[in-house]
A and B are shown apart, each in its own frame.
Chain A
Amino acid sequence: MSTRATRARSGLAAGRFDAARALREAGLAAFVAFVLFLPLVGFELVGGEGRLGLEYRFDWVLIGTAAVFVGHFLISLIRAVRGPARRAQGDAGPIAHFFTVHATWFGVAGVVIAFVLPWTPFGNRYVVDVATTLLIYVMLGWGLNIVVGLAGLLDLGYVAFYAVGAYSYALFAQWFGLGFWECLPIAGVLAAMAGILLGFPVLRLRGDYLAIVTLGFGEIIRIILLNWYEVTRGPNGISGIPRPTLFGLEFARYSSDGMTFHEFFGIQYDSHHRVVFLYYLILLLALITNWFVLRIRRLPLGRAWEALREDEIACRALGINPTNTKLTAFALGAMFGGFAGSFFATRQGFVSPESFTFIESATILAIVVLGGMGSQLGVVLAAAVIVLLPEFGREFEQFRMLLFGAAMVGIMVWRPRGLMAFREPTVLLHARGRGEEAPR
């Protein structure tokens, strides 16, 4: 109905082009651009000869302003000719729908590519390292997807659980000499308990209020880590965190106790081995997370999470205990954050509160939202955009964050509900293509 109305209006707009209005709007945009460009572009600090000097580039300001004016006018002109851009509202779009329907195949292909990546010709150390970072974010995104995507609880402090996981491994290793594999479940349990701890006070909150409290929780954890000097060594962080072993085999040139990986297999020592091992480790952890989330979506608990996201009052009327349901979402989401944190600690060999600032929470949340709430494949795509874009943008130096921001804005304009906004039902009565087709 509304699309028909907009189309009718656009037909009117396409008929005549209001030049005066377009000029006025372009002028306004140019003025805003001028005000912004004047300090940003107009002055340049130049070093040299032992002192700083100021250079003026007002010609650049004028060129930029003129470009904005002309550009804005042209956009108005194009819009008037073609009609306004189609408003993407709830619709998933044919591409996203295609991706979701064939998600299994894309998933299998993705996993195969991920497995062979270190053995391909371009699987050098840099690529494997970036891929490891990407997988950490994918795993965090999948973990947060439980809380935000499925249960619909906006969590701005997810990094707290990441920190709890990282520090539990670091501290248990330092104080009790535990290895990575012993600490992994401990980190998961502690993070889950932190999740429940956060869950209790926010049970009654929704939306903005929930976001503020979770944001505060994230900061509280970071500030505790920063100030509890006797245990966490504050801003100095904890270094010398042991690296993970493969069934007791260390990835080092020499081992003080036990065998090393290259000795056991009788191959030359190569520092690349450890990088690849870490890569496979996070790949495994991420795949477990994915398996878990996909599975639990089809279980009553997962359905209850989604139902809770849709309507809490209706859930109560159906006998679903909202308290338990929310707390399990917080706990399980946090648990995977804790696992990822443990991996982060063992990969870096060093943790400090610096790594767990709000920007991390925001990045993970951005991955979930950009991906399309609740979509597993969407998280991968969005994580790829967010992790890889700054890497590709390295040639643009200081402009890469600008590029990054523009890409995020662009995605949200074209796909307001995320890259993969299509929700796959957890149970179908009719085989696909049978039964009546729902309007899309």
Chain B
Amino acid sequence: MTTPLLVVEHLTMRFGGLVAVDDLSFTAMDWKITAIIGPNGAGKTTVFNCLTGFYRPTVGRLTFHGRHGPVLLEREEGFRIPRHGIARTFQNIRLFANMTALENLVVAQHNELMRASGYTVLGLIGWKGYREAERRAVDLARYWLDRMGLLPRADWQAGALPYGEQRKLEIARAMCTRPRLLCLDEPAAGLNPRETAELADLLVEIRDRENIGILLIEHDMSMVMRISDHIVVLDHGRKISEGTPESVRNDPVVIKAYLGESAEEELPEEVAEDLARTGGGS
């Protein structure tokens, strides 16, 4: 039995005359992977930015059942949202490039450590409680570095890591905030097929072992279809389909959105087969 973790109702985001997201409603369940897919420019990242407080939605209610009970995200200040248990990664990796991998993960535990350091005052005089809190923070960081296979490179500058490891480090950093919902914006972008498969396994493992919900934006359909429990399909800001991977994959509306109006008649047989297998993605 799962419970709703995030309930999005009538989310609309307008930029001047442009409607980026139009009356979108969906629910992300706890302990499930919910994927948001759609062609480029469909408004997927805008949804993320609304959820994580970077944009204030024009219309809509975003209810998140977070750490301290239900909260309306659209009323929260952006930097407070992570404190309720939402963590995110970015489409273009945003690590603290000149800091080490370990430091990146320690910074992610800022608010906890800030309290432990007595808002710096106790920390300055070397209070024991702070040193213990820092040790715990490093331990959590070590755990996630280990999970990501980055332990030997813990003291590298984040910017010096190879691309795939930077992606993993960003996920580790998000996990160090101890989220209830992990939002991943195209985590497989730029990864090779083997790395993508590893990432898919990792996400399933995170879902099952950490018991959190995952919200996923992804273009790699093989990955989305394999690991998602629920898929929301956007096109031009509107939800055009929703359901399990099987139902979405066979939905003619989805296929049309991805391949154009008269796609079905013109498709060569092998492409149509491929499409049926992977669900209309490229």
Contacts and interface: CB of A to CB of B under 8 A. Distances in A.
A435 B146 CA distance: 13
A316 interface: yes
A314 B94 contact: yes
Interface in A287-336: 292, 295-296, 299-301, 303-304, 306-307, 310-311, 313-322, 328
A428 interface: yes
Interface stretch (A4-12, A79-87, A419-427): A419-427
B100 A425 contact: yes
A435 B96 contact: no
A316 B79 contact: yes
Given A427-B106, A429-B102, A438-B155, A300 B114 contact: yes
Given A296-B120, A303-B106, A427-B138, A317 B96 contact: no
A429 B145 contact: yes
A429 B177 CA distance: 19
B108 interface: yes
| Most chain B Cβ neighbours within 10 Å, of A321, A328, A423 | A321
A199 to B, nearest CB: 17
Interface in A391-426: 423, 425-426
Contacts, number: 130
A425 B88 contact: no
A307 B94 contact: no
Contacts of B94: 311, 313-314, 317
Contact of A319 (B98, B111, B141, B156): B111
Interface string B65-105: 00000000000001111110001101000111111101100
Interface in B45-68: 52-54
A439 interface: yes
A319 B177 contact: yes
Contact of B113 (A300, A315, A328, A429): A300
Contact of B177 (A292, A306, A307, A318): A318
A186 B114 CA distance: 27
Nearest to B141: A429
A299 B96 CA distance: 16
Interface residues of A, number: 34
B152 interface: yes
B18 interface: no
A296 B119 CA distance: 11
| Most chain A Cβ neighbours within 10 Å, of B98, B155, B173 | B155
A299 B79 contact: no
B103 A439 contact: no
B122 to A, nearest CB: 10
A296 B155 CA distance: 20
A438 B120 contact: no
Contacts of B123: 295, 299-301
B153 interface: yes
A405 B120 CA distance: 40
Given A311-B96, A427-B102, A438 B90 contact: no
B120 A301 contact: yes
Nearest to B101: A429
Contacts of A435: 152-155
B123 to A, nearest CB: 4
A55 interface: no
Nearest to A436: B152
B100 to A, nearest CB: 5
A314 B153 contact: no
A51 interface: no
A306 B104 CA distance: 10
A430 interface: yes
Given A299-B130, A304-B110, A318-B82, 15 more contacts: A300-B117, A301-B123, A310-B97, A311-B95, A313-B90, A316-B54, A318-B110, A319-B79, A322-B79, A427-B103, A427-B134, A428-B100, A429-B154, A430-B154, A435-B152
19 contacts: A299-B124, A301-B119, A310-B95, A310-B96, A314-B94, A317-B88, A318-B87, A318-B108, A319-B83, A320-B107, A427-B106, A429-B102, A429-B145, A429-B151, A429-B155, A430-B152, A436-B153, A436-B156, A438-B157
Interface of B: 52-54, 78-83, 87-88, 90, 94-100, 102-103, 106-108, 110-111, 113-114, 117, 119-120, 123-124, 130, 134, 138, 141-142, 145, 151-157, 160, 173, 177
Interface of A: 292, 295-296, 299-301, 303-304, 306-307, 310-311, 313-322, 328, 423, 425-430, 435-436, 438-439
